[in-house]
């Protein structure tokens, strides 16, 4: 059975006090509200700002099924890169996940698929799980190029990995036109792209790898639409933005399986 995941991306939000309070609330919920259904309890990941990684990780330590993650990492382990965070720093802080290629990193910081492949490589080499983000902008979808765009992002960023290495990654499909816009891809649109990604994995590796691989949806997923999105055969959870900043909303999403 594929691993189910609900991940919260805090982006550049919250004070340290607010972040610790949010982390504690989510940890308390996860401990006290195990899900009793066929899918089981999903793993929960909180992608915090880098300056909060240590205190939030320590705050939630020991909570089953709950971990923290970094929102980005550099392609090098060390060096004269003022303001950057290396994956070795992330790993040494007890953090086991990192976002790679979020649409905002691609758009605002010009990160290419080739650069992201290096980040995937260095994360895996240091025992950190990369959650690789992919997705099309509105013009690409309107032009009917959305499948080609996502295929190129995945092929360049991930498909150079061995089968064993690839199995240690996670993909998050985020239609850029549905992030922070209030517009959500319909359940049918989400399922269509997730099924397409799983087909690409099956063709590259094999059907068993594809069937056991976790693919998340990230595009204005919230407490109201999560259950409908997660009900799709090939949607294994969500990468949540704004709704992850409110404990009540985020915990409702965790319960949406």
Structure confidence at residue 37 (pLDDT): 56
pLDDT average, residue stretch 108-121: 98
Structure confidence at residue 35 (pLDDT): 66
Convert the pLDDT of each residue in 7-23 to its tens digit.
Answer: 999 999 999 999 999 99
Structure confidence at residue 39 (pLDDT): 60
Structure confidence at residue 166 (pLDDT): 98
For the question of residue 165 being annotated catalytic, the response is no
Per the prediction, the chain carries an average pLDDT of 95
CATH number at residue 88: 3.20.20.70
For residue 56, give both structure tokens: 């939030």
Convert the pLDDT of each residue in 122-161 to its tens digit.
Answer: 999 999 999 999 999 989 999 999 999 999 999 999 999 9
pLDDT average, residue stretch 167-193: 90
For the question of residue 194 being annotated catalytic, the response is no
Q: Are 39 and 77 in contact (CB under 8 A)?
A: no
Residue 40 pLDDT level (bands cut at 50, 70, 90): low
pLDDT average, residue stretch 193-202: 98
Residue 34 pLDDT level (bands cut at 50, 70, 90): confident
Identify which has the larger pLDDT, 183 or 128. Answer: 128
pLDDT average, residue stretch 35-55: 85
- Please state the pTM of the whole predicted model: 0.96
pLDDT average, residue stretch 221-250: 96
pLDDT average, residue stretch 170-194: 89
List 74, 111, 174, 194, catalytic entry: 174
pLDDT average, residue stretch 45-59: 97
List 102, 111, 136, 146, catalytic entry: 102
Structure confidence at residue 178 (pLDDT): 85
- CB neighbours (10 Å) of residue 98? 25
Domain boundaries, position 90: 5-254
Q: Give the count of domains, the chain.
A: 1
């Amino acid at each position: 059975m594929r691993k189910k995941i609900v991940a919260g991306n805090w982006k550049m939000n919250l004070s340290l006090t607010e972040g610790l309070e949010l982390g504690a609330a989510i940890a308390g919920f996860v401990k006290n509200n195990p899900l009793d259904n066929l899918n089981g309890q999903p793993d929960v990941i909180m992608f915090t700002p880098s300056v909060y990684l240590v205190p939030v990780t320590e705050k939630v330590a020991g909570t089953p099924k709950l971990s923290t993650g970094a929102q980005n990492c550099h392609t090098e382990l060390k060096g004269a890169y003022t303001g950057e965070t290396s994956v070795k720093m992330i790993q040494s802080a007890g953090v086991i996940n990192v976002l790679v290629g979020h649409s905002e990193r691609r758009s605002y910081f010009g990160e290419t698929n080739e650069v992201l492949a290096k980040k995937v490589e260095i994360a895996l080499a240091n025992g950190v799980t990369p959650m690789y983000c992919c997705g099309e902008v509105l013009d690409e979808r309107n032009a009917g190029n959305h499948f080609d765009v996502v295929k190129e992002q995945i092929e360049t960023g991930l498909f150079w990995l061995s089968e064993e290495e690839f199995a240690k990654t996670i993909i998050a499909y985020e239609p850029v036109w549905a992030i922070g816009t209030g517009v959500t891809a319909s359940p049918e649109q989400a399922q269509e792209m997730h099924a397409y990604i799983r087909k690409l994995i099956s063709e590259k590796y094999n059907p068993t790898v594809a069937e056991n691989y976790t693919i998340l949806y990230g595009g204005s997923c919230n407490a109201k639409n999560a259950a409908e999105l997660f009900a799709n055969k090939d949607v294994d959870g969500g990468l949540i933005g704004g709704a992850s900043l409110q404990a009540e909303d985020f915990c409702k999403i965790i319960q949406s399986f």
